[in-house]
Structure 1
Amino acid sequence: MLKSFFRKIVVAVITAEAKLVLKKYRPKIIAITGSVGKTSAKDAIFQVLSHFQFARKSEKSFNSDIGLPLTIIGCRNGWSNPLIWCRNFVEGLALILLPVRYPKVLILEVGADRPADIEKVAYWLKPDAVVVTRFAKVPVHVEFFASPAALLAEKSHLIKSLKADGVLVLNADDDDVAGLSALFRGRVTTFGFSGTAALTASHYSISEKLGSKMPAGVSFRVNYGGSSVPLSLYGAVGRGVVYP
């Protein structure tokens, strides 16, 4: 009972601080959801954008009603330690009251463990871009929802909160994901192996180590707007590694 009450207080405080931080600094927000590949997509987007501007990504799987505000504030999880939480509260206030160098872009992984998890954060997060990766046939945490369709509906709250001038990025290889385009009237772009996608991967093959038949990685081409670029990834195999 006490632990639950303490958690509610923590969530209320850091959420209020996160809202004020966003209002003050107005960073661009890229929100990533799906049931497969969120973390990989987040890391890949950060790896690219961080070369061009000050960016911050969710650490580990900070994708809950606690993790998202903590990422926005830039603090670590205090778990059951009240001293760490007090320090987090102070650091949040400092961001709000003092001039601080703050990221221009936030790359946030947004997940749903229980019904209303995403709905509760979507109404105030207001992302500039939403990326939807993929939905497994039997998604993780589906046992807490009435059906896989109910989990999909929960994820869709993020799209409904997307800014009107934002962009929705969808995996064209997943029919459930591709169908989400109907929820947004603004700019929608797609990616995948499918020829219907705006950005496609083609000519996929597994590369071998020199002088042996052991797999070394994968090679493929990325095609967009009439241009085609060859890419190679080493240390991993499978079509799944192409998506991030």
Structure 2
Amino acid sequence: MSIGVDIVRGQAIQTIGDAGHLDRLNLMPDSRKIVADGLFVPLVGEHFNGHHYLEQAIEHGAVAAIWMEREPLPEHLPQGFPLFFVRDTLSAIQSMAKSYLNQTRPKIIAVTGSNGKTTTKDMLYGILHQSFRTYKTQGNFNNHIGVPLTILSMPKDTEVLVLEMGMNHFGELTFLSQMAKPDIAIITNIGESHIEYLGSREGIAKAKLEIVNGLRKRGTLILDGDEPLLADIQTYAFQIVRCGFSNGNNWRITDIVESVSGSSFSLNKQKETFNVPVLGRHNVKNAVLSFAAARILGMDMEKIRIGLEKLSLTKLRFERVDGLNGSVLINDCYNASPTSMKASLETLKTLPGFKKRIAVLGDMYELGKDEEALHKSVAAALGAPLTHVVTIGEKGAWIADGLRENGGVNLEVRSFPTKAEAQPYLESLLSEDAVMLFKASRLLALEELSGKLCAK
């Protein structure tokens, strides 16, 4: 890391590695956003170079910038504008993030998993912010760029930092975990997301377990206790807390009651009941993973109960909205894998009070060479009391193919190449006794279709 220099006055400013000297500046990784007293961080990718946008960043509030040594200096740099020279801007913000954490020392909870990372992150925040000054990953800033940006955006007085950590290759979670050094790590589940790069569910489990490589001594790993691939972890370096439905879990979920407005449940057969305003057994498990983390941090049961009841989740994750003609729409279309799609379908089956239960399912991506078989595997979850299955997209059609190959059961099945072609048929199904689930990978953007079917 080289010393930053004001190139006009020739005066040494400070080393980038010492983040404390920059605490009066607000991180500005995007030149398009207005940030008062911004420190512009121009990142470089395969198809972009942020150094080209310094002028725009200054217009939007940048008062200083980190700068790669090999990049040419701007022709019209304002006199006295400080540049901090580094070999690589991404490495610089990663080093700054480590330094900032060493200075502020919040308790850190790192969350990973094939599905449910964002929901669990939101649940953790909903519970913890009642007792602690809590900050969480914003949006999906969960990779080697997003995690350090999240850390550097954290207020200095943060007591608990909730970091979502994503990955699609081996080694990525090791890097993120060793950067953040979490006190608590959570693995929500093992699905098929990114199997294209990791080879198998066993490979996915191995990659997810990398989250412990930075876990602090005497830290805690909280995980899905119903997942066989996570059953045989042997360790003396940290505590393991298992959550799930089966016997043997430290926190066993019992007595679930589901409705269209949420779920209630108990733990370890105790009398106390918890309520969450979200649908699905999988989301109940996410709530219990969050509960376990809160208990480790010393929160009492009553505050946790209140936090769960008042949850506010990121949109498009089992989001309930009013549809046309008095119907109910469930937007679960932020992303999808076969595991999460089956879980959503099981929830759709349990919702009481509907004669028509309609599943609108679309393409899933990053499933590798077995993608057709994995789409067809969803057919195992398609049965009564579902009444209609509508698939959208070329890959989504494989779900319908799998259903027909299994005998078709007693469902009305339709496939459409595009959202626009499906819309008139879906409109015809909506009535007061209908609930319609939307589920597909992010790229398909099924919320565009569900948005056209909402009550105006």
Note if contact 1:159-1:184 (Cα within 8 Å) is conserved in structure 2.
no
1:229 is paired with a residue whose SS is coil
Q: Give the Cα separation in 2 of the matches to 1:146 and 1:241.
A: 27
CA shift, 1:3, in A, is: 3.1
Q: Give the Cα separation in 1 of the matches to 2:101 and 2:181.
A: 10
Which residue identity is paired with 2:221? L
Against the structure 1 CA distance between its residues 146 and 238, is the aligned structure 2 distance closer, same or farther, given a 3 Å change threshold?
closer
Please list the CA deviations of residues 120-167 of structure 1 after superposition, one character each: whole Å capped at 9, or x if unmatched: 22223211011111011xx21111223332232222221132111111
Q: Give the Cα separation in 1 of the matches to 2:130 and 2:210.
A: 31
Equivalent residue, structure 1, for 2:283:
241
Q: Give the Cα separation in 2 of the matches to 1:101 and 1:229.
A: 37
1:182 equivalent in alignment to 2:237: no
Q: How do 1:31-42 residues align onto structure 2 when only pairs under 5 Å count?
A: 31-42=110-121
Q: Give the Cα separation in 1 of the matches to 2:45 and 2:179.
A: 26
Equivalent residue, structure 2, for 1:203:
255
Q: Which of 274, 290, 293 is the equivalent residue of 1:231?
A: 274
Q: How do 1:121-200 residues align onto structure 2 when only pairs under 5 Å count?
A: 121-136=176-191, 139-179=192-232, 181-183=233-235, 185-200=237-252
Q: How do 1:107-126 residues align onto structure 2 when only pairs under 5 Å count?
A: 107-126=162-181
Rg: which structure is higher? 2
Q: Give the Cα separation in 1 of the matches to 2:263 and 2:176.
A: 37
1:61 equivalent in alignment to 2:140: yes
1:64 is paired with a residue whose SS is coil
Note if contact 1:49-1:55 (Cα within 8 Å) is conserved in structure 2.
yes
Q: Give the Cα separation in 1 of the matches to 2:173 and 2:211.
A: 7
- Structure 2 gap ranges (5+): 1-43, 51-86, 287-456
CA shift, 1:216, in A, is: 3.6
Equivalent residue, structure 2, for 1:83:
none
Against the structure 1 CA distance between its residues 188 and 150, is the aligned structure 2 distance closer, same or farther, given a 3 Å change threshold?
same
Considering only aligned residues, what root-mean-square deviation do their CA atoms show, in Å? 2.3
Against the structure 1 CA distance between its residues 23 and 142, is the aligned structure 2 distance closer, same or farther, given a 3 Å change threshold?
same
Against the structure 1 CA distance between its residues 33 and 184, is the aligned structure 2 distance closer, same or farther, given a 3 Å change threshold?
farther
2:92 is paired with a residue whose SS is helix
Note if contact 1:133-1:177 (Cα within 8 Å) is conserved in structure 2.
no
Against the structure 1 CA distance between its residues 6 and 178, is the aligned structure 2 distance closer, same or farther, given a 3 Å change threshold?
farther
TM-score (norm 1): 0.76
Q: Give the Cα separation in 1 of the matches to 2:90 and 2:231.
A: 33
CA shift, 1:54, in A, is: 0.7
Note if contact 1:46-1:56 (Cα within 8 Å) is conserved in structure 2.
yes
Which residue identity is paired with 2:195? V
Report runs of 4+ in structure 1 exceeding 6 Å deviation. none
**Residues paired across the two proteins, number:** 206
Note if contact 1:142-1:151 (Cα within 8 Å) is conserved in structure 2.
yes
2:91 is paired with a residue whose SS is helix
1:22 is paired with a residue whose SS is helix
Q: Give the Cα separation in 2 of the matches to 1:38 and 1:63.
A: 10
Q: How do 1:4-15 residues align onto structure 2 when only pairs under 5 Å count?
A: 4=46, 6=49, 9-15=88-94
Q: Which of 218, 242, 263 is the equivalent residue of 1:218?
A: 263
CA shift, 1:59, in A, is: 1.1
Note if contact 1:142-1:148 (Cα within 8 Å) is conserved in structure 2.
yes
Note if contact 2:202-2:229 (Cα within 8 Å) is conserved in structure 1.
no
CA shift, 1:237, in A, is: 3.0
Q: Give the Cα separation in 2 of the matches to 1:64 and 1:13.
A: 15
